[in-house]
Structure 1
């Protein structure tokens, strides 16, 4: 879906401040705990680790929960969204618990029986084997499909409808578009596709190239 997370190629987000060389992974102790809780929420909500489902939760957050709360804040917000949708947490439970910790006396809403999907990956990780040959070859010109996907996708908005060249054919991976919704792994070859900046942003762009990893169903052959 075209949510707040699809920021690539867009303008108006301000300067990028790269981390310092010796900057710690977790600047504050709460960030360490937030990261751990986010990972645990994936397992609690799905009955197993499904990173694609978590990414879909991230892209459904609004601007405040995705940007204003920062990196570790958005992880917690996505985890809460997943747990609430699966009825592991009742709506409003986190807010009620926080108010009680501040000394207020707020009844916490009861939870119902959790509703978890039947999730059983066919193998560890995301790499899979296919007996069929790749649809595209190295050096072939391809076009990113110009589609608006209602659910999860890893097809960046800024490359849709634009033409590039296949540089590398990578092994088959689980397709995030279906895996995020527990509709099957649907493994596909992944292609590293080279795009010219002028193709993506017009004649006024600076001269450079962009390489994007794209699943086979994201691409179509050009004439």
Structure 2
């Protein structure tokens, strides 16, 4: 298992690329200095037996804690840097997020898990986690009613057309509300082209904070790699990123 640490990040000059602006510990997509992502097609899905158990436990814990779309991911995002980059890696973060949610939902008392496991007091990630951000509803798009399907899904049917069309040049500028977002920082402010319109989905920037569904159409935007990462990027490589439409503006209106 490869463990990445913040010490491997090499900062760029501000004008060299769009990759050095990651504002949150989890927002590493496109961030400079992390090297190639190792890939082994023969790699096992779990490196240790405890990882397999954590994977199974998540599906037992989440129905009693993170019941809103985006809530579990937001718990991961709020972990302290030392916990997020701990040597136990991906499933270690899942375990830490479960500890946080179990305490925040009142299923266990603060420090109870440390005691049960015989760990020193203060070991649990819940001691260091950031509190949920206070998000002002005025910074989110208006809520709109949409029929809720009988089966479990985040998709919704909207009675309005998407705000963009295929071929539009757009720039991602939101979310400015703080808290949880699905907008990767490396595409902010970069011009791209709409290539597909997906069905609408509930907005996790809102649902993760218990502020309603506020469903949005999902827009697939194509970015040229060199627009994102400068002349050192591979030529003629295009990156498609699915974004909620409230993140976007027409390029002509964003200038």
Once superposed, what is the RMSD of the aligned Cα atoms? 2.2
Shift of 1:149: 4.0
Aligned to 2:12: none
Distance (Å, rounded) in 1 between the aligned partners of 2:158 and 2:52:
38
Residue aligned with 2:199, SS: strand
Distance (Å, rounded) in 2 between the aligned partners of 1:39 and 1:86:
16
Q: Which of the residues 15, 27, 32 maps onto 2:52?
A: 32
Q: C-alpha deviations, 1:169-213, integer Å up to 9, x for none?
A: 000011110011111111111011001122222334332221100
Q: Are the counterparts in 1 of residues 195 and 221 from structure 2 also a CA contact under 8 Å?
A: yes
TM-score by length of 2: 0.73
Distance (Å, rounded) in 2 between the aligned partners of 1:144 and 1:138:
16
Shift of 1:148: 4.4
Q: Are the counterparts in 2 of residues 2 and 149 from structure 1 also a CA contact under 8 Å?
A: no
Q: Which of the residues 36, 53, 76 maps onto 1:15?
A: 36
Aligned to 1:145: 173
Q: Which of the residues 70, 75, 97 maps onto 1:78?
A: 97
Q: Which of the residues 217, 227, 239 maps onto 1:189?
A: 217
> Aligned ranges for residues 1-223 of structure 1 at < 5 Å?
2-21=23-42, 23-46=43-66, 49-68=67-86, 69-99=88-118, 122-123=148-149, 124-145=152-173, 148-207=176-235, 208-223=237-252
Distance (Å, rounded) in 2 between the aligned partners of 1:148 and 1:204:
30
Distance 1:153 1:167, change over 3 A: same
- State how many pairs are aligned: 202
**Ranges in structure 1 where 5+ consecutive residues have no aligned partner:** 107-120
Aligned to 1:115: none
Distance 1:220 1:75, change over 3 A: same
Distance 1:173 1:147, change over 3 A: closer
Q: Runs ≥4 in structure 1, deviation > 6 angstroms?
A: none
Q: Are the counterparts in 1 of residues 25 and 77 from structure 2 also a CA contact under 8 Å?
A: yes
Q: Are the counterparts in 2 of residues 193 and 211 from structure 1 also a CA contact under 8 Å?
A: yes
Q: C-alpha deviations, 1:63-101, integer Å up to 9, x for none?
A: 32222221111001011111112222211112111117x
